[in-house]
Structure 1
């Protein structure tokens, strides 16, 4: 991944998002679901997820649930900016949305959402490009998004994101990932989202045992930028060595709290990358983490040591839910 190309590729998404405005997120009628659509491979009105999304009216302001029955859906799904208030509900690991593409880091993701107000549960989003299966190791390594998320107020529960490089493009907006599974090796959680990862299972699956990968590449751009990734609980495991993160932009912010680190985490933990020479601007911190990879004695000298009051700023209530939007969502079964 080249730093310049990634900066340039952000521009179209940035201007689109600014034009429509992340602040236009609504309450979608509180916690009531106004309509339910069902997607299934057989015997349903909608055979594809995209067909059900296309059916939702423009400028929708009430929650519409799209229940996706168990099955393998080979499609690239897009929620446009004018269709907020959508719930995607799968049936666990048997509901799989898969796509194979790598054109660029900002195009052709398996799942893309531009609109605000999204709930998704019990769905696997997979970009199979570069993902090894059995004896087949895939193709030339390229960025290949399983999901690209650029709206405000997203809540993912028990979802799976599978890829190799740039799996989860957590681009912008407030996002919660609860009890999710995220797989990759290179920058596989990246972007400028203001996001909270709660009890997520992070699996670093790679093919180069002597070349450590990167769990995160966070893109905080200034001291006033509210973005950052906070990981609460969960674990980092896998079959290759990984760094916890590298700074995509100069004020990158990633915090792990009470997370289990297996021995795949490198001793240094963090890489300055675009913050080289100004590492003090970054906020990389580990609090009360455990496991054989949690030894901080050989971490980079510029890793932050947060006080209790600092940690309070990164709690769920303060960092992601200060206006209570999460408590106003429909119940996820």
Structure 2
């Protein structure tokens, strides 16, 4: 089954065409897997085979299966597409928690990277049952399923599985569409400028006596363009969870038309280390629904935006002013 990137973006949003990677044509396909037509048995071997400073789209098709390996796309290898055969059948998994920048199952450093139909999993903290007590200091550590440090990334129908710090959305413009993200503690975090469309966010909820945090966004200056925008989608799971806490003083997270289950705490947000200095923090909920969307008891400093201000956080305005999303490789079959 071959597929990639079915985008339903009207021409109204086409503000220009990016020319990175030679347009929207795929010039080569490399197959990874255990079947006879596979050129490589590991994903890393396929990535390593791509020439440095590549400037044309190269697809690495990953056959269904479990790949237990740490995968890195180095900075000198842009324009790579990782295409799985579905997030339920194609999984990259590893177990590590050494450090924030060196423990990720999947690390991507160059610009122009696309992934579809893949599950990225860090199995270090992942268990199958809920615990009443879990010794956080000795058992649970930050363990990234993915670390993303490059501009112009698109993830379609991918899953990110972990517990603490699952998705390190570190830097650059990133577009996540129809993805699944799982965790409990700061499991979507970083300083990325990212748009999450129709994504399902699942909270694991191991602890009955404390609430987790979906986001820990790290905008450090009022001039920085970054932030996390969630458009549509669903937030559910077990236990209780806050929508976010401020990793940096200008942390910015917007939920628009997202469905919240009852697991969301009444106050919703935390200033964390910036209590008393909340004026720079931008946390917003607009037209959200569900039993967890009642904002009557939210923190008093949560921002309210008018219609024109909300438009600044649309896909076109927030991450696609140069039209890079519109010029991605598209296959309809």
Tell me if TM exceeds 0.5. yes
Which stretch of structure 1 is more off in the superposition, 316-325 or 35-44? 35-44
Which stretch of structure 1 is more off in the superposition, 109-118 or 206-215? 206-215
Report how many residues are paired.
Answer: 309
2:89 is matched with which residue: 83, 94, 104?
94
Residues 168-317 of structure 1: pairs in structure 2 closer than 5 A: 168-317=167-316
Task: Provide the C-alpha distance between the structure 1 equivalents of 2:115 and 2:309, rounded to a whole number of angstroms.
Answer: 31
Aligned-pair CA distance for 1:282: 0.5
Query: Is the Cα–Cα contact under 8 Å of residues 26 and 117 in structure 1 kept in the other structure?
Result: no
Q: Kindly report structure 1 stretches of 4+ aligned residues shifted beyond 2 Å.
A: 133-139
Task: Provide the C-alpha distance between the structure 1 equivalents of 2:241 and 2:129, rounded to a whole number of angstroms.
Answer: 22
Which stretch of structure 1 is more off in the superposition, 266-275 or 173-182? 266-275
Unaligned runs of 5+ in 1: 1-24
Secondary structure in structure 2 of the residue aligned to 1:171: strand
1:52 corresponds to: 46
Higher helix share: 1
1:79 corresponds to: 73
Query: Is the Cα–Cα contact under 8 Å of residues 26 and 61 in structure 1 kept in the other structure?
Result: no
Change in 2 beyond 3 A, CA 1:128/1:109: same
Residues 132-151 of structure 1: pairs in structure 2 closer than 5 A: 132-134=127-129, 140-151=139-150
Task: Provide the C-alpha distance between the structure 2 equivalents of 1:135 and 1:279, rounded to a whole number of angstroms.
Answer: 34
Residues 113-132 of structure 1: pairs in structure 2 closer than 5 A: 113-132=108-127
Task: Provide the C-alpha distance between the structure 2 equivalents of 1:262 and 1:116, rounded to a whole number of angstroms.
Answer: 35
Aligned-pair CA distance for 1:72: 0.2
1:38 corresponds to: 31
Greater RCO structure (CA 8 Å; 6+ sep) = 2
Change in 2 beyond 3 A, CA 1:319/1:135: closer
Query: Is the Cα–Cα contact under 8 Å of residues 191 and 219 in structure 1 kept in the other structure?
Result: yes
Task: Provide the C-alpha distance between the structure 2 equivalents of 1:172 and 1:135, rounded to a whole number of angstroms.
Answer: 33
Aligned-pair CA distance for 1:41: 2.4
Task: Provide the C-alpha distance between the structure 2 equivalents of 1:276 and 1:42, rounded to a whole number of angstroms.
Answer: 56
Aligned-pair CA distance for 1:135: 7.9
**Does residue 1:28 correspond to 2:27, yes or no?**
no
2:63 corresponds to: 69
Task: Provide the C-alpha distance between the structure 2 equivalents of 1:95 and 1:272, rounded to a whole number of angstroms.
Answer: 38
Task: Provide the C-alpha distance between the structure 1 equivalents of 2:208 and 2:81, rounded to a whole number of angstroms.
Answer: 39
Query: Is the Cα–Cα contact under 8 Å of residues 196 and 229 in structure 2 kept in the other structure?
Result: yes
Unaligned runs of 5+ in 2: 1-17
Aligned-pair CA distance for 1:312: 0.8
